[in-house]
Structure 1
Amino acid sequence: MRIEEISGNDREQALKLVLSVFMEYEAPDYSEQGMQTFKDFIGNREAIDCLKIYGAYLDDELVGVIATRNHGNHIALFFVDGRHHQKGIGRKLFEYALEKSTGNKITVNSSPYAVEVYKKLGFVPNSGEQVVDGIRFTPMTYIKG
C-alpha cells in the first residue's frame, strides 16, 4: 500500500470514493438535510481546495482518503472503501496525516458511525453529540504524545 497527496483531477476520484462510502455507511444516520449538507460540502470547490487530501492505494486502486485543514490539525474527511475496512488502512492514513500535522493536537467532528474508530485511534470526545445543519457529529481531539 502507498499513501500520497492527491491533487489535480485525481481529487474528483477521491471525492467519488468519499461520497460512495458516506452514502453506504453514514447517510443512514443522517436526515435529508444532513445528507444534502454533506453533499454540498464535498461539491464546494472553494472548501475542497482548502484541504490537503491524501489517498491510500492498493496497487493503483484508491481505497481510502483522509483530508485535513488548518495545517493538518483538523480532519475534514476520512473514508475507507467498505471492502477494505478493518485492514489497517484507516490507521495508516491517520498516521500519515499525523506526521504532516503541525500542532500538538488534531481535532475532528466525528460522525456517529466513526466515533468508535476514532476512539481506537486515540481520540477523546470533547462533548456529546451535536447536530448542525442536519449533520450529526461528536467533537473529538487527539493529543500528540
Structure 2
Amino acid sequence: MESDCFIRKIRPEEIAEALGLAWNVFLEFESPEYTKEGVEEFYKSIHDETYLSKLCWYGAFVQEKLVGIIATRNEGTHIALFFVDGKYQRHGIGRRLFQFALSMNSSGKMTVNSSPYAVPVYHKLGFCDTDTEQVVNGLRFTPMEIK
C-alpha cells in the first residue's frame, strides 16, 4: 500500500477535507483518552482560521484519495497536526508523510506535542520526550523533539 501512496502539498481547496480527516481520526483514536474539555479544545483549534492559516499542509494520497495529513508551523520545525486514516495506518504512510515534511525543513530539527495515542508512533520515528505529559485546556500531550 505504501508504494501506491504519493505525498504532495495540500491545495487550499483541500484543507476542509484534511480537517475532516483529522477530526474523524481524532474521534476514533484519540478522543477516548481526553476529557470533554479536551475534545472541545481540539475541535476549536481545527476551526481557528488564524491558527490554521499559519500551517503548511502535506497530504498522502492513495488513488487520489486523501488518507493522511501532516501540517507544520514555525517554518516546518513543529508538527501541529498529523493524522492517518485508520484503514491506512501501519502501512508506512505516516512515516512517508513525516519524512516528506522533515525534508521541507532545512534545520533538520522538529518538535511535536504528542497525544498519548501517538507517543509510540513518534518514538518509532526517532523522537525523544523532552518533558513529562502535560495537560492544557483538557489536551493531554508529551513534548517531544527529533534532532
TM-score > 0.5 by shorter chain = yes
Point out where structure 2 has 5 or more consecutive residues left out of the alignment: none
1:81: which partner in 2? 85
Please, which of 25, 37, 40 is the counterpart of residue 41 of structure 2? 37
Q: Which letter does structure 2 place at the counterpart of 1:73?
A: T
Count of residue pairs brought into register by the alignment: 143
Output the CA distance in 2 between the equivalents of 1:9 and 1:99.
24
Q: Which letter does structure 1 place at the counterpart of 2:101?
A: A
Q: TM-score, normalised by structure 2?
A: 0.96
- Helix, strand or coil for the counterpart of 2:102? helix
- Helix, strand or coil for the counterpart of 2:51? helix
Q: Which letter does structure 2 place at the counterpart of 1:79?
A: F
Output the CA distance in 2 between the equivalents of 1:2 and 1:86.
16
Q: Which letter does structure 1 place at the counterpart of 2:8?
A: E
How do 1:66-145 residues align onto structure 2 when only pairs under 5 Å count? Answer: 66-143=70-147
Output the CA distance in 1 between the equivalents of 2:34 and 2:102.
28
Deviation beyond 3 Å, 4+ runs, structure 1: none
How do 1:7-46 residues align onto structure 2 when only pairs under 5 Å count? Answer: 7-46=11-50
TM-align CA RMSD: 0.6
Q: Deviations over 1:39-73 (max 9, x none)?
A: 00000111111100100000110000000000000
- Helix, strand or coil for the counterpart of 2:142? strand
Shift of residue 105, structure 1, vs aligned partner: 1.2
Output the CA distance in 1 between the equivalents of 2:118 and 2:134.
14
Q: Which letter does structure 2 place at the counterpart of 1:108?
A: V
Output the CA distance in 1 between the equivalents of 2:55 and 2:11.
10
Output the CA distance in 2 between the equivalents of 1:66 and 1:126.
21
Shift of residue 7, structure 1, vs aligned partner: 2.2
Output the CA distance in 2 between the equivalents of 1:57 and 1:10.
12
Point out where structure 1 has 5 or more consecutive residues left out of the alignment: none
- Helix, strand or coil for the counterpart of 2:117? helix
- The answer as to 2:7 corresponding to 1:3 is yes
Output the CA distance in 1 between the equivalents of 2:12 and 2:88.
25
Q: TM-score, normalised by structure 1?
A: 0.97
